[in-house]
Amino acid sequence: MASESDRVARAGDYVLGLMNDAERERAERDLEVDAAFRDAVVQLAERMHLFDGAKPADGEERWTEITQRIADLPQMRTFGLGGNRAKSPTVIRSLSQRPHGIGLHALGGRRGFAVAVGLIVAFALGYLAGKL
């Protein structure tokens, strides 16, 4: 049984036409009987459908077209890469006051040293009480 990554890689080879004749015939037989492989091929083919409308172009023009199509994807708009180039809203601008003295980040200096010494004494007393 093939793993998911092997199945997706094989489906990619089939969709991109990178298989020799024997591998292609075997893949076409598997399309008829293996539902997971068939689903992987369909999903990859749908993703590759994005490039169907692309017209052949030279290297730099092709790269510009590809980056523009990637930038137009909805998930890229939140990072300011999309067509509208709007900045994402800032969630935290700055801290208006110092953090409260609660939590591990607040233990430092003399207070942290006192807590460490107290824990060492408590563990030492517990150890001694257990030995007696």
Cut 0.85: pTM above it: no
For tokens 């999903």, what's the residue? Answer: 43
Q: Give me 77's structure tokens.
A: 């708009």
- Sorted by sequence, the CB contacts under 8 Å of residue 19 that are 6+ apart come out as 13, 27
Ordered by start, the domain boundaries in the chain are 4-53, 58-88
pLDDT tens, the chain, 132 aa long: 568 888 888 988 888 888 888 898 898 888 888 888 888 888 888 887 766 665 555 667 777 777 777 777 666 655 554 445 555 555 555 656 665 666 656 666 787 788 889 999 999 999 999 998
CA distance 122 to 4: 53
CA–CA distance from 67 to each of 59, 62, 63, 86, 111 (Å)?
12, 9, 6, 18, 54
Give burial (CB, 10 Å; 0-12/13-18/19+) of 11: buried
